[in-house]
Amino acid sequence: MDEKHLQKTLEEINVPTPDDNVKKRALNLALAEFETVQKKNEKTFQGFSLLSRLIPGSNKNTGRETMKNRKLIYGGMATAMAVVLICGVSVQQFTTGSYKKQQSADETALATLNKAALAPEAKEELFRDRAAQKYTPPLEQHTDQGAVQSDESSAISPPPQPIMPMARTGAPAEMTMMMAESGAAGVSMSYQIPDYEIMPSPGYHEEGRDKFGDFEENIIKTVSTEPVSTFSIDVDTASYSFVRRQINEGVLPPKDAVRIEEMINYFDYDYEPPETKVRPFKPTVTIVPSPWKDGNKLLHIGIKGYDIAPDEKPRSNLVFLLDVSGSMNAQDKLPLLKNSMKLLLETLSPDDTVAIVVYAGAAGTVLEPTKASDKNKILQALDQLSAGGSTAGAEGIRQAYQLAGNNFDKEAVNRVILATDGDFNVGISNPEELKDFVERKRKSGVFLSVLGFGQGNYNDHLMQELAQNGNGVAVYIDSLSEARKVLVEEASATLFPIAKDVKIQIDFNPEMVAEYRLVGYETRHLNREDFNNDAVDAGDIGAGHTVTAIYEITPVGGKRAVEDSRYAVKTEDTKVHTDFSNEYAFLKIRYKLPDEETSNLITTPVTTENERDNLLTNTCSTTEDCVSSANDDVRFSVAVASFGQLLKGSKYSGKLDYDGVIDMAQQARSADEFGYRAEFINLVRLAKSAAALQKN
C-alpha cells in the first residue's frame, strides 16, 4: 500500500467523531504501534528520535536497506492508523458494558480493519504482537446472558485482583476484540491493550476547569415577615485552603470558591468547652458593633465541641480510597496525597485498621484491612502507587464502602477517606447519583470524609456534596503543612464524631431586631420546619471542633435596608408586648449523638447581657474601639468574615477595606502557636496587592 492509497482509504471510511479522551488515547496507541514496527528496524536508521530514524545515514547500504523495508514502514503506518480507527469505535468498551455490546463493537472494529485494506504483513504483525500480550479479564463477571453489573449491596466474587497502576501505561484497560483474516472462519483472539498515556510533567497543572457550586449571597430579611433563621452546621475548611493557594499565586479566587463560614471555621477558637460528651457543646454568644455599617450589630455564636481524652478514643476502621488516575500525576496531587496518608498513619493506634482501595480506569483493593501496627506493609502499599489512566471514581467508592462494610465494627469509627482531585470521568459522575449512594451508605454507619488535592481540574462542588451526604468533612490539602494541620493536629476532629445532624435555629425578637442577615452558610440553608424533623440530614461535629456563626442585625430604630410596607398596620393596639424586652433572639441547637437517631435540644436566650460592658455604657468613641473591646477570638473571626466579604465583592461590605481587616486581625492575633493567624494577615496583604493588579 503506498501513501496515496492509504490516504484515499482513510478518507472513505466513515468513523464516528470521538471525544477528546478518545482522541488522546487513540493517538497514543497509534504512536505505540508505529514505534513497535520502527524499533525492529532501528539499526537501519541513525539517532534515537523518531525524526532522526527517518534520515538515511552515511553507510552505503543504508539507502538500499531503507528501500527494502519501505513496504514494512507503510505497513506499520497503516497498522497505526487502523488502531486509531479501531479506538474511535471501540475505546468506550474498555471497562464497561455487557458481553453482547462488547461483541457488537468488536465486529464493528473488525469491519473497519478489513476495510482499511492493510497489507498482509501489517495484519500479521498486528495479530502476532497483540496475541502475545498477557490478557487480563475484566472486573465484570460474564455469563452466557451477559455481564453481571455490580450493585452497591452485592459482593464481588472472586474479589478483584490488586491494581498497581504504572506510570507509563496507567491502570489496566481491558478490551476484547474478535479479528479474522479474510477467508478465515471466526478466529478469536483475546488480548489487553495497555492504556498508554502521555503524562504531564511534574509541575504541570490544568487551567480553568476547577468546579465550584454556584450560590447567591444571603440577603437581608425582615423580622416582621421572616423572624426565624435555620441552617445546618458546617466544619469544612476546604474553601480557605483553596483561597490561600490562589492568592499565594498572585490571583484572586473565583467568587464561588469563597465560602465565608469555611474561612472562619478554618481557625481554632478558645470558646468555653462543654463538661460532658452527653451534652457535647456549649454555645458562647457575644454582641458587638458591625464594622461594615454604622448602627448595626453582629450577633456572634461560638460553639466548642467536646474533646475526647486519648484513653476514650474508639478504635478506627479506615478505608483509604485513593485516586491514582492520570489527572493525579502532578507533584501537588499523588505524591502529596501519599505523604499525607503517611502523616495520618502516624496518629493511629496499633489496633486501628487500614485498608487501601485505588481507582483509575478500573478499581481494586491493593491492601486488605491491616493493623496500623504493621506499618511497613501499609507504607509499602502506598509507595508502590503511581498515576495513570482515566477516573472510575464511582466504582472505587462502591468497592471502598463494600470493604468497610465487610469489616464493620460497631465499637469502632468506620470511615472511608476519599483522596482525589474530584475529576470523575468514568462511571457515575452525576453529583446527585453519587450523593444518593453515599447517603444510603451513611445510614449503615460508614461515614465518608474527603481530602481534595490539586488545581486546574479540581472539582470542589462534587467533593462538597459527597462529604455533606457522607457525615464527614471536606478539606483541601495544598501543602504538607496543611496535611499536618488536618490529619495530625486535628486528627480527633477529623476522625471522631461527637455529634451528627447538628442544626442551628435563631428566633429573632421583633421588638428588638428589625432586620438580620446570616454571613455565609449559603449552601447550608434549611427550611424552618426542617429543624424539628430528625429525618433531615445536617452537619456533623468532630471531637474538639469549633464552629462559628455570625449574624448582622439591625436593631429596632436603626437605619433599615428594607422599608415597611405602605399598608402595614402601625397602631399601638397591634403590638404584642412580652416579657422579652431584653432579648435580641432565642438560640436553639438540635443534635444527635453519634449512635442515636433521636435528636436532643439545647436552648439559650440572646440578651443585652451578651453585649460588651462598654457598649452598654456607651464609652466607645469609634466602632473600631468597640470591636476591639471584644475578646480576641470574636475580633479575629470578624476580621476573617470581613475578608471573605471583600473577596466575594459583597454588596453588604459597606466601608470595609483590606487595611481595616489587617488592623483588626493584628490586634487579635493572641496566642498563635502554629502561625495560622499571622499567615492570614499576610494573605490579606497579598490579596490587596492582587486586587490592585487586577484593576490596572
DSSP per-residue letters across 19-38:
-HHHHHHHHHHHHHHHHHHH
Q: Of 359, 377, 443, which is closest to residue 408 (Cα–Cα)?
A: 443
Q: How far apart are CA 694 and CA 682, in angstroms?
A: 19
- Confidence tier at 376 by pLDDT (50, 70, 90): very high
Q: Where in the chain is the domain with CATH 3.40.50.410?
A: 314-491
Mean pLDDT computed over 260-274:
94
Does the domain at 314-491 match CATH 2.40.50.100? Answer given as no
Give ∠ CA 599-603-607 in degrees, rounded to 5. Answer: 160
Q: Where in the chain is the domain with CATH 2.60.40.1230?
A: 221-309+496-556+580-695
CB-facing half-sphere around the CA of 654: CA atoms within 13 A = 13
Mean pLDDT computed over 180-201:
35
Give, as one character, the DSSP assignment of residue 690.
H
Q: How far apart are CA 288 and CA 670, in angstroms?
A: 19
For 242, the enclosing helix (H) or strand (E) is helix 238-248
Identify which has the larger pLDDT, 173 or 570: 570
Q: How far apart are CA 28 and CA 389, in angstroms?
A: 12
Q: Of 90, 69, 180, 194, which is closest to residue 127 (Cα–Cα)?
A: 180
Q: How far apart are CA 264 and CA 236, in angstroms?
A: 10
Query: 395 in helix, strand or coil?
Result: helix
Question: What global pTM score does this model have?
Answer: 0.70
CA 401 to mean position of chain CA atoms: 17
Task: Reduce the secondary structure of 593-658 to three states and give it as a string.
Answer: CCCCCCCEEEEEEEEHHHECHHHHCCCCCCHHHHHHCCCHHHHHHHHHHHHHHHHHCCCCCCCCCH
Query: 246 in helix, strand or coil?
Result: helix
For 303, the enclosing helix (H) or strand (E) is strand 297-305
Fold of 221-309+496-556+580-695: Immunoglobulin-like (2.60.40)
Q: How far apart are CA 57 and CA 73, in angstroms?
A: 17
Query: What cell was used for 105?
Result: 463493537
- Confidence tier at 138 by pLDDT (50, 70, 90): very low
* Residue-wise pLDDT tens digits, 75-95: 555 554 554 444 444 434 433
Average pLDDT for the chain: 75
* Residue-wise pLDDT tens digits, 229-250: 999 998 899 999 999 999 999 9
